[in-house]
Amino acid sequence: MARILITSGPTRQYLDPVRYVTNASSGRMGAALATAALELGHEVVIVSGPVTVDYPAGATVIPVVTTDEMLQAAVETFKQCDGAIGAAAPCDYMPRQIQTQKISKTGKPLTIELVETADVVATLGQNKRGRDRGDQPLADDRSPRRQWVVGFALETEDQRFRAIVKLERKHCDLMVSNGPSAIDAADNEVELLDPDGNVIEAIAGDKEHVARRLLAQIQQRLISS
Amino acid sequence: MARILITSGPTRQYLDPVRYVTNASSGRMGAALATAALELGHEVVIVSGPVTVDYPAGATVIPVVTTDEMLQAAVETFKQCDGAIGAAAPCDYMPRQIQTQKISKTGKPLTIELVETADVVATLGQNKRGRDRGDQPLADDRSPRRQWVVGFALETEDQRFRAIVKLERKHCDLMVSNGPSAIDAADNEVELLDPDGNVIEAIAGDKEHVARRLLAQIQQRLISS
């Protein structure tokens, strides 16, 4: 049995007390992955942005709002986990300044400077145990096992190429490549990529089916190995 | 019996195919107003942004995404209505340019120019039948009756003053003033203001209670009069 961190849903980056930048991530892929992991007998902790999806009762859910909150909760949770699946779509830009009062309309354009947020999956990948010790699990049973990280890449163009670049940059063990049609949809169509850039499996169907296939691959390649 | 347009929920203004500016409006106030109006025997058409709330089965729902879509649907629907309640929180700024591909992170800040969207309630107020004919219903039964518009003002400071300014500018018959704690909450605390700036009623409680009190006031002052 493994203890698995799943990040899920969107995050929000507020401009003022009312308005924010976000995306339409629904948490459905995260919920389906959690269900599939529980079915295999694993323990699941979900760090989730604001969603209305129902997560499975067997999972522990830590709710967050911003990307920085997701990062903090994920890093803290990951310490006690064997691996992480980054199914969330954290907002990757945030306003440089947050207005404390609602911005009033003046009739004139409003210029907003956005800066990049920290990258949740990249931070987990950089800090995973055993990253620099090669691909073999540690021989000493008293040592914590090597941790693994599976990322998701959502791109509108050059999907596979960009997913491979992200896999490498974020130190992921596997990368799931999908497109914008995945967002807030019942179905998904993904390619699962290994660190050599090979397509291990192409999976299409409802998110429950996709999640079960992904977990079967993770089980075989990262948990049982 | 009246035919009532209710706008409800948030709208989204996309920066690219994935990211957008929005707010946390849940559509609960709109759903509660629709239920209260149906209970009084009225006909209800809801123009709603993307929400997960359940609208009452007796209402017709027209789904929209952007503020411009909400404006078009509301203006078209309003032609066949006696009055409108603007409970939506339309996103009032939109990016001047929408990128057709997902914006890639570069490590550098991203400057976005936002311009104001059209104002849905102000447009309904400006175009309502009978606006320049005084406060009396038209005497001729064959003429369409004078239309009415009730707005919502959500402010973080100077709430009542700003609500009165909005009532006048948007040619509303009544204005509901509330604060940011209303957003995505089960409860609300509002003041109902008339065109002279008087507080007709202060209402606090769950949104179903607030909606029934607001509809009772609308019934007495705008529908039965």
**What is the predicted ipTM?**
0.90
List the single residue in B with minimal CA-CA distance to A110: B114
Asked if the C-beta of A179 comes within 8 angstroms of chain B's C-beta atoms, the answer is no
Return the closest-CA partner of residue B163 out of B137, B202, B105, B124: B202
Instruction: Output the pLDDT for position A145.
Output: 79
Find the CB nearest A154 among B18, B101, B114: B18
Return the closest-CA partner of residue A20 out of B184, B86, B12: B12
CB A163 within 8 A of CB A198: no
CATH topology of domain B3-93+112-133+143-223: Rossmann fold (3.40.50)
CB A67 within 8 A of CB A86: no
Identify any residues that bridge with B187 across adjacent strands, giving them in sequence order: B206
d(CA B153, CA B166): 7
Are residues B110 and A96, on separate chains, in Cβ contact within 8 Å?
Answer: no
d(CA A64, CA A76): 13
CB B214 within 8 A of CB B177: no
| A162 chain-B contacts, CB cut-off 8 A | 104
Asked if the C-beta of B113 comes within 8 angstroms of chain A's C-beta atoms, the answer is yes
Which residues, numbered 15 to 44 in chain B, qualify as contacts with chain A under a Cβ-Cβ cut-off of 8 Å?
A: 15-24
Q: What is the average per-residue pLDDT within A121-147? A: 72
Residues in CB range of A24: below 8 A, 6 or more apart: A10, A183, A184, B12, B18, B20, B50
Q: What is the average per-residue pLDDT within A8-16? A: 97
Residues in CB range of A179: below 8 A, 6 or more apart: A154, A155, A156, A159, A189
How is chain B split among helix, strand and coil, in percent rounded to 5? 30, 30, 45
In degrees and rounded to multiples of 5, residue A78 shows phi and psi of -60, -30
C-alpha torsion sign, points B118, B122, B126, B130: positive
Asked if the C-beta of B54 comes within 8 angstroms of chain A's C-beta atoms, the answer is no
Structure tokens at A2: 């493994």
| A104 chain-B contacts, CB cut-off 8 A | 162
Least reliable range by pLDDT among A81-90, A124-133, A164-173, B80-89: A124-133
List the single residue in B with minimal CA-CA distance to A13: B21
Asked if the C-beta of B224 comes within 8 angstroms of chain A's C-beta atoms, the answer is no
Tens of pLDDT, residue by residue over A48-73, are 999 999 999 999 999 999 999 999 99
CA distance to partner chain A, nearest, from residue B213 (Å):
26
What's chain A's average pLDDT?
Answer: 93
The architecture in CATH of the region A3-94+112-133+143-223 reads 3-Layer(aba) Sandwich (3.40)
Asked if the C-beta of A92 comes within 8 angstroms of chain B's C-beta atoms, the answer is yes
CA distance to partner chain B, nearest, from residue A108 (Å):
7
Q: What is the average per-residue pLDDT within A195-216? A: 96
The series of mean pLDDT values per 10 residues for chain B, 225 residues long, is 97 96 96 98 98 97 98 98 98 95 91 96 95 51 76 93 96 95 91 96 96 98 90
d(CA A116, CA B160): 37
Are residues A22 and B23, on separate chains, in Cβ contact within 8 Å?
Answer: no
Find the CB nearest B18 among A20, A23, A162: A23
Instruction: Output the pLDDT for position B144.
Output: 64
Find the CB nearest A18 among B23, B110, B115: B23
d(CA B115, CA A117): 24
Q: Where are the beta strands (DSSP E) in A148-221?
A: 148-154, 174-178, 187-193, 199-206
